[in-house]
Structure 1
Amino acid sequence: MDFMKPETVLQLPNIRQALIRMEDTIVFDLIERSQFYSSPSVYEPNKYNIPNFNGSFLDWSLLQMEKTHSQVRRYEAPDEVPFFPDELLPPILPPVEYPSVLASYTKEINVNKEILNFYVNEIVPQISCKAGDQQENLGSVSVCDIDTLQALSRRIHFGKFVAEAKYQADKEGYKKLILAKDIKGIEESITNSAVEEMILDRLVEKGKTYGVDPSMRYSQNPQSKVQPEIIAKLYKDYVIPLTKKVEVDYLLRRLEDEE
């Protein structure tokens, strides 16, 4: 997939390979985060006195990272969606003129608030090695959190490319569903239960492979850093449903550009 070559972007095999590669990143990020305590103070609003800022330490850290990344053109890329779109800074590097692939309203499809919510409230408690704070590691925790959140965001918002590819493959069918505002019909058209099961099975295998010391792989107590079943369940309960939400939200507005 090359974003400078539009003909490569909407090919479903290319999209599928990109999504599989993102799984690796997310699994490794979760493993990295699992070495730290749950660190609730990182997520507590206004726990620390940060001048001219209202929010948690993670919110502040993520905002600073996004400001820096915006200056090196991260959010000009069509597959990146910021958590703080109104706070970005102008790029220092010259702009990149990416060919148009997605609909004109694509930047308005943003579920990062939902991602941040399920990450803090559902993922962190399940993968942290222990409950409570370790004051010396609060900064490290926020860095791991940011990496994981950005990876999850990219994976979930990649649903826009899936939706556009499916729309292009069956314009007339989707036009009927969109005009009828048939959300259930759209959901059914984008759902492939067999593929979803394959994803979950693959995640369990990746969790077993990446999260276990190779020397302990075949022992009676392999001591996985993150339970593989937890990773699969997080995908099943949050990542896949939110990706579908992105796809449905994108498709429901798709006729705006046709007009």
Structure 2
Amino acid sequence: MLWFGASLLLLSASPSWASVVVTADVSNNARRPAFPVPDLTQIRDILAHLEAPIISGLTERMGLATSHDLYANNGRRLIDVLTTRENIALKAGRFDYGKMEYPFTLPLISPDFTTPLTPFNPGTFHQDTFSGNPNITKFYLETLVPMFTSATSFYYHLDNSTLNDDAALNLDATLLGLLSHRSHIGKVVAETKYAANVTVFVPLIKSKDAGTIRTLLTNTAQEANVLAQAATAATAFSTAWITSGASFPPATGVNLQNAAAKLFRELIDITTQIEIEYIMQRLR
């Protein structure tokens, strides 16, 4: 349920990671910089640069032995690690306006509002209230974590134990941050597409026609390119680890390919939803 007033609060019976708090302050508009967005070619280069870190992190995480009990209670221990890390990151400015990084456990940055003094002309970033992080966390816990099945670890312990819960949770948190950043660049994609077709989008926004907006935003050819690039990267990283001497089981390459395919398919879907929500709030 969404309540409007001095703040916007999204309440849910879902786990704690699904709750998002948004504080609205119209006066923030005047203090914020106006950020022009790059064109689609530049954005695609930016997204391509994120593929290697994501696949690298996924490769490393799949190389760790995992006790799935670590993610009991809707990933409570992971959420605790995220909260600690995000409180430190907040002080360092990681979630500042325009950074395109959004916390999983802390209040979101307040949205922008169009006013005579801050018109947010087409091509200018306009912060909305939507976060894709709950969907990312749900996918991570329900789909990716069960794919972490390695019985060995690249950590060496004299007691021959294979588990390193701290390393696993911190890798999880790092990977989630990358997935979130990659997905929320969809807001920039949406602004670029909006600026290129304002006269078409405005009536659709006013009529709340999310279906047609989705159709306009979807580029199946580009989606296929993203999936192909992710598959290539997964092959390259698994091969590099194995040829360097890493003690990985024979199925590592196939498992990484499968995980990467599921992950980037989900990222495409979450990013599309982020784009739609951005467009729907563009005239706010």
Provide the C-alpha distance between the structure 2 equivalents of 1:139 and 1:42, rounded to a whole number of angstroms.
10
Select 1:103's aligned residue among 115, 119, 126: 126
Select 1:169's aligned residue among 183, 192, 196: 196
1:86 shift after superposition: 3.0
- Given that 1:127 and 1:226 are in contact with CA atoms closer than 8 Å, whether structure 2 keeps it comes out as no
Match of 1:174, as an amino acid?
Answer: F
Percent identity over the alignment is 27
TM-score (norm 1): 0.78
SS of corresponding position for 2:253:
coil
Select 1:243's aligned residue among 263, 271, 275: 271
SS of corresponding position for 1:202:
helix
Structure 1 residues 61 and 67, CA gap change in structure 2 (3 angstroms) = same
- Structure 1 segment 124-139 matched on structure 2, within 5 A: 124-130=145-151, 136-139=163-166
1:5 shift after superposition: 8.9
TM-score (norm 2): 0.72
- Structure 1 segment 135-146 matched on structure 2, within 5 A: 136-146=163-173
| Structure 2 counterpart of 1:230 | 259
Structure 1 residues 199 and 43, CA gap change in structure 2 (3 angstroms) = same
| Structure 1 counterpart of 2:78 | 58
1:125 shift after superposition: 1.1
Provide the C-alpha distance between the structure 1 equivalents of 2:206 and 2:34, rounded to a whole number of angstroms.
31
Provide the C-alpha distance between the structure 2 equivalents of 1:175 and 1:155, rounded to a whole number of angstroms.
26
1:222 shift after superposition: 8.7
- Structure 1 segment 1-259 matched on structure 2, within 5 A: 6-7=35-36, 9-45=37-73, 56-78=76-98, 79-86=100-107, 101-104=124-127, 106=128, 108-130=129-151, 136-213=163-240, 216=243, 224=253, 226-236=255-265, 238-256=266-284
Structure 1 segments unaligned to the other structure (5+ residues): 47-54, 89-98
Provide the C-alpha distance between the structure 2 equivalents of 1:227 and 1:153, rounded to a whole number of angstroms.
20
Structure 1 residues 43 and 135, CA gap change in structure 2 (3 angstroms) = farther
SS of corresponding position for 1:43:
helix
1:202 shift after superposition: 0.9
Provide the C-alpha distance between the structure 1 equivalents of 2:229 and 2:47, rounded to a whole number of angstroms.
12
Provide the C-alpha distance between the structure 1 equivalents of 2:255 and 2:49, rounded to a whole number of angstroms.
19
1:204 shift after superposition: 0.7
1:223 shift after superposition: 5.0
Match of 1:102, as an amino acid?
Answer: F
RMSD across aligned positions (CA):
2.8
1:102 shift after superposition: 2.0
Length, aligned pairs only: 226
Structure 1 residues 20 and 188, CA gap change in structure 2 (3 angstroms) = same
Provide the C-alpha distance between the structure 2 equivalents of 1:177 and 1:45, rounded to a whole number of angstroms.
41
More helix by share: 1
Structure 2 segments unaligned to the other structure (5+ residues): 1-32, 110-119, 153-160, 245-249
